[in-house]
A and B are shown apart, each in its own frame.
Chain A
Amino acid sequence: MTSVGSADFIRILPELILSVFALLVMMLEPVTPLGKKTVLGWVAIAGVILAGLASFAIAYFPGSAFSASISNDGFSNYLIELLLLIAGLVLLGSMAYLERDAIDHGEFYALILMATVGAAFMVASTELIMVFIGLEISSISTYILAGYKRGEMQSNESSVKYFLLGSFATAFFLYGIAFVYGLTGTTNLDVVRETLVNSPQSASPQLLWLAVILMFVGLAFKVSTVPFQIWTPDVYQGAPAPVTAFLSTAPKAAAFAVLVRVFVGSFDHVASAGPVVFWLLWISAVLTMCLGNLAALWQSNVKRLLAYSSIAHAGYMLVGITAGGAEGTSAVLFYLAGYALMNVGAFILIAHLAGSDERYTNVQDFTGLAADRPGMAACLTVFMLSLAGFPSTVGFFAKFYVFRSAMHAHLTGLTIIALLNSVVSVYYYLALVVAMYMGEGKTQVSESSVPRALGFAIAVSLLGIFFLGLFPSGLLRDLNSLHVPWL
């Protein structure tokens, strides 16, 4: 019951700035003439940049805010910066797309900002109700974004499926929260941990397991692990490609952050829950990797293929979470950065190549792209190779760190399964490369030149991919020294 002071607001400054800019975009929307809506995109980007600066600044004001429901620590700070990066790239990559498909309303940019706010609250919250509200903000925004092409069947279906299954998952997550609250009398994760660790007899282990499983199911839907991945392919395929770029990264990163905070940060420390958490993670990691990769082998639609690939990547990240501890956490955080760079890059490039109304998203449509547009083909190839985990790209070190943490945790079996999976994944990532470089015939996809903003976004992600692929230790060192008390 402390009163709210200015320090509290400083610690949520990035979120505040984003919210203000989202409002600004919405207020400017009616006064912006048709055909000039891109301006709103730039306003949104300005907001993202400002929020980014703010998040750098608030790194110097660590501590909790609002009755310990928000924590401004290295962990949240890093993830917020990552989310802002994603949002920025997606905004850059979507402006031309929206204009081309004549859906360039300011609402889109506002929604992206809102979804980012929600995700940012998710990663910064140390209190489950706040997590829940953040989750809902980001989920609801993304439901809308997925169905942003209202008149288009696939976009709409994507939205329906995402919405129904997302809400279903939310109910599970919430039920888990209810039981955690019932067992510990609090929803503050730090207090939950302390209560459970200090007086383990207060909660029946079975009920705790149920709470853990329920929360896991809820989060598993969000990060799309098997068997809760059923929505992912359809949603990713149906949503407008820049939206897919966003929702395959930002909400996922946030959900992973929550997964880490809840499971690694809290329940891992609890003796009676530890094994359940461990096996839950272990099994879903294996299932997710295997199913994601195997299913991806049969896909002919690029967006769908990348959807299954993102399921597989969720599996790899789960390996890191299974490993747990400070090392597993930093590996997962590193992975999230790499994954965001390559996935966003790939999707926004595909969004451009797919042409108006995304007519060309089949692998066959990319045939011969290398001959006609070698630059774009090369970029897409780099994204694919990075996703496949070739060295000198970030995808390699992402996997490497995760697998190393797993080996440190003596999860040799899991590591080997993961490695074999990543070999299998090479096949389908190369399918696209095969089509672009080795297929015969004229390419179907859009041959218009890359708009400047999109080009910039792609350049940023490429740079990031190579920089982190060649010099990963700087970031990893930072991640290792997050100084988060719960690790």
Chain B
Amino acid sequence: MATFSDTEFFLIETVIKIALIMFILLTAIAYLTWLERKVIAHIQSRWGPYLVGPHGLLQPLADGLKFMFKEDIAPLEADPVVYWLAPFLAFLMAFLSIAVIPFGESFTLAGHVIQLQITDLNVGLLFVFAVTSLGVYSVALAGWSSNSKYPLLGGLRSSAQMISYEVSLSLGVIGVLMIAGTLSLREIVNQQAGLWAHAGLFSVLPRWNLFLQPLGFLIYFTAAIAETNRIPFDLPEGETELVAGFHTEYSSFKFAIFFMSEYANMVTVSAIATLLFFGGWLGPSFGPYWLRVILPVLWFCLKLFCFLFFYIWVRGTLPRFRYDQLMAFGWKFLLPLGLLNILVTSFVMAWLHS
């Protein structure tokens, strides 16, 4: 846990951090939806949201208001408790993992060292995985509790998919962990500082893990797309087959929560990818103290944005998988590939160490 002497300060600091991050994140998510609609529209030679505000910039706000005030309809036969619980579970799990994600270096304020991170666990990465793995429940329970065919099928599908790809997701990052020798995200990022030395032409490149673990990154990112139920792996809510998958029967605010959770999850996995493979907040740092505090956050957000953009880009270009293809891809291709990656990494490491 954090090393603050003053418990009060610690509490206040944490609460402020949480509030700030939540605010930023929620806003970001709101504009992510806008971004997505815009980008996709441009990819498809359309305008996208255009009417509400300049370039539709106020569209997310309007959407939010609509969700808030729309009538909340629940199926009569739905299981009341679970039906209500599922979206909040989704929300909780999506935002909980943000807690351990560092987004910048620490700075000193009034004699206190403040980490740009809600809490630094030495098993941080595991915590993320733990929370992500619980995310399945919201989907599964939402599907089941609606007491309706399509949601149930969607729920089952997505649980199976999420469990399957979680394995590959973890296997993808194990290579990085082997190199880093720690599970603390901050530590992992710090190890990527600087440029490659003695690498000839490549000496200009930063010491990102991406260059050591390209395969690992590919596996991770592919699995992450599936894990967040995004195209081309969005089978659980494939409109053509299942209306809207597990959240077919959800409307109004509860639907909004599912919606937000999905985007929050995107942010989380992207953040992890940034931290593990792209050196996190590391980047050129210069200027006065405040700039040196702000700049890493900026770099971090930039990298994150690239990932998010990539997500949208993928959605705009790739078609959806068939379900059996999806499972086969996960188990028969991604998983062995992950194992191979670990095997190669361990051999190389053993060879280097001896």
A and B touch in the complex (CB under 8 A): no
Instruction: Please report A residues at the B interface, Cβ cutoff 8 Å.
Output: none
